[in-house]
Structure 1
Amino acid sequence: MQTDAIRAFVAVCDLGSFQAASEALHLSQPTISKRLASLEQRLGHSLFDRVGRGVALTEAGRAYLPHARELLAVLQDGRRALDNLGAEVAGVLRLALSHHVGLHRMPGVLREFVSRYPGVEPQIVFVDSEAACRSVANGERELAVITLPTPAHPALVEDCIWPDPMSVFVGHDHELAKRNQVVATDLAPHACVLPPVDSYTYQIIAQALAARDVQVAPHMTSHYLETLRMLAGVGIGWTVLPTSMDHPELVRLELPELVIRRRLGAIRHPRRSLSNAARALLSLLDQARVPA
């Protein structure tokens, strides 16, 4: 079966249109259409419903997609295995980073990596930790360095590199900033700004708050912790940030009974071959490890 056709199928699924797939693969739209028609003929099933300029997966398409991803991942594994026969650390490194980890934890590691291994071409995407997990599980990325999920992802192997304690912050004009003593239950009546409710970080925060009988309904949400820091600083609500993100515009509330802690680290697929470049990056991450 033609792998180019399968690659075109997955690209259309990921990008949502023939045009976007053709641009990503540097092919014409007629070529994409021809490859997909050939694949559908070989499979004996229609994979897409064409509605206007949009496309939607058929039932057969939805059933075939995970197998198509798996086949492309296996082909990548084979290429990596051949590349790894030599000791050279070179080639493409497909890496996913969460925004916070990329900005606050990885610059030193990446600086050392690109200096030590100039033959490697890093291809880095900055995505939410949840999307990064999916990309590693699907074989689209070799590694991701992110907020680790709680509980652990059932299909992936994780390695905690940095413990990440978190604290509650408010702006200087917030009512809670003016109190001599605050307990966790004092947070409940006040508006909060937190990560999206389907994010790993929100789940960690909500579980810690629930253990202190505090239920929350965020007034606003954002995956970008720098945005939450700004919103709290201007007085829109209290927030929870890594303690390391303390800022002159914020007041950190002393709540010793409330323990909120994330874990940041690397994830990989246990059944995928890692390139020499990925192994080299893991080695540098190990050197950057902070004991829990």
Structure 2
Amino acid sequence: MRHLNLDQLRTLVAIADLGTFSAAAQALHLAQPTVSLHVSELESRLGAPLVVRGARRVTPTPAGAVLVERGRRLLRDADDAIDAVRRQHQGLAGQVRIGCSTTSVVVDLLPPVFHALLERYPDIVLTPSFLGSAYSVSGLLAGTLDLAIIALPQPATPGVALKPWRKQPMVAFVPARWQAPRRATPAWLAQHPLIMNQPGSRMYELTMEWFGRAGFAPRARIEHDYDVAMRGLVAAGYGVALLPAPDDGTTAHAGEHVQTLPLSPKLTRHLAIAYRAHGALDGATQRVIETLLEFA
């Protein structure tokens, strides 16, 4: 037996709801012979009569009533599927996998982006992964990520496009009980235990370049790649960390056991949005990039 035809099924449901072939034809914008053909073809495929033609009203047979009941569900599912495809194509729904170089991006920078996306596109699901910039670029090329927030500079990578996004001033996170100067210099920091990102990360390179320009090459007491954990270690008194200032320089998220000091000379981390350069981006990813750029 061939598969059911959804158009014919829709015709049968309309007849059951409206009571006549002519009313169903008018509602579906079909010719009445077409409506009759739909019913006869359904009956032929199923080998069972589906309607009883009365003097004033057409009613489903017991077999027809079963098909009408199931048909309503099938038609709802079909309509939902069509709507989901349309919304996906228009960028109103979908999953977007985003790589983030550090947890500070998710904790400090992305919440307003998440809120705006939820307000405008509630069916777009943003899924973050905590990956270093190099791994995020690899994820884009491998197709396991749709876009990423990465630290600059990055070597030019064929197939990956970059849009500058945010600038974050770097500050020193220092235990609150320490006696500290008004500004943290490379010389002062080099004399204290340091909590630094792991070698190979862009944050580690940025920090070591800053020390190097002042003639210092300090060793870290603790190496860690998660900003929130590093702040916790600072609060516990294990050392000082150079990290992006939360919320564009405010100290609201530093914690009561942590003080933040501006750096002298200043140090800034530059972030960019990375995405695949070749091929059309799906609509949901485009909407996320557009929203991110609003918060640049």
| TM over 0.5, shorter chain | yes
Map of 2:287 onto structure 1: 280
Is 1:229 paired with 2:219? no
Contact 1:208 1:259 in 2 (8 A): no
Structure 1 residue 178, shift from structure 2 partner = 4.3
Aligned length: 204
Letter in 1 for 2:139: S
Is 1:149 paired with 2:145? no
Is 1:270 paired with 2:285? no
Aligned positions of 1:70-85 closer than 5 A: none
Gaps of 5+ in 1: 1-81
Aligned partner of 1:252 among 260, 266, 283: 260
Structure 1 residue 132, shift from structure 2 partner = 1.7
Map of 2:243 onto structure 1: 241
SS at match of 2:242: strand
CA distance in 2, matches of 1:109, 1:164: 16
SS at match of 1:109: helix
Contact 1:172 1:233 in 2 (8 A): yes
Contact 2:87 2:93 in 1 (8 A): no
Aligned partner of 2:190 among 188, 191, 196: 188
Letter in 1 for 2:119: S
Over 3 Å counting, the alpha-carbon distance change for 1:134 and 1:249 in structure 2 is: same
SS at match of 1:253: strand
Contact 1:170 1:238 in 2 (8 A): yes
Gaps of 5+ in 2: 1-84
Over 3 Å counting, the alpha-carbon distance change for 1:88 and 1:272 in structure 2 is: closer
Over 3 Å counting, the alpha-carbon distance change for 1:89 and 1:236 in structure 2 is: same
Over 3 Å counting, the alpha-carbon distance change for 1:181 and 1:93 in structure 2 is: closer
Map of 2:32 onto structure 1: none
Over 3 Å counting, the alpha-carbon distance change for 1:183 and 1:88 in structure 2 is: closer
Letter in 2 for 1:216: P
CA distance in 1, matches of 2:155, 2:147: 16
CA distance in 1, matches of 2:137, 2:154: 13
Contact 2:89 2:282 in 1 (8 A): no
Over 3 Å counting, the alpha-carbon distance change for 1:239 and 1:131 in structure 2 is: same
SS at match of 1:227: helix
Is 1:87 paired with 2:90? yes
Show CA shifts across 1:166-201 (max 9, x none).
012321333xx3457764223223210011111111
Letter in 2 for 1:209: F
Aligned partner of 1:166 among 151, 158, 170: 170
Letter in 1 for 2:240: W
Structure 1 residue 233, shift from structure 2 partner = 2.3
Structure 1 residue 281, shift from structure 2 partner = 0.9
Letter in 2 for 1:113: L
Structure 1 residue 284, shift from structure 2 partner = 0.8
Show CA shifts across 1:142-176 (max 9, x none).
1112x4232344332222221001012321333xx
**TM-score between both structures, scaled by the size of structure 2:** 0.61
Contact 1:94 1:141 in 2 (8 A): yes
CA distance in 1, matches of 2:124, 2:201: 32
**TM-score between both structures, scaled by the size of structure 1:** 0.62
Larger radius of gyration: 2
Over 3 Å counting, the alpha-carbon distance change for 1:193 and 1:124 in structure 2 is: closer
SS at match of 1:223: coil
Structure 1 residue 121, shift from structure 2 partner = 4.0
Letter in 1 for 2:208: A
Structure 1 residue 276, shift from structure 2 partner = 0.6
SS at match of 1:216: coil
CA distance in 2, matches of 1:102, 1:234: 23
Structure 1 residue 223, shift from structure 2 partner = 1.1
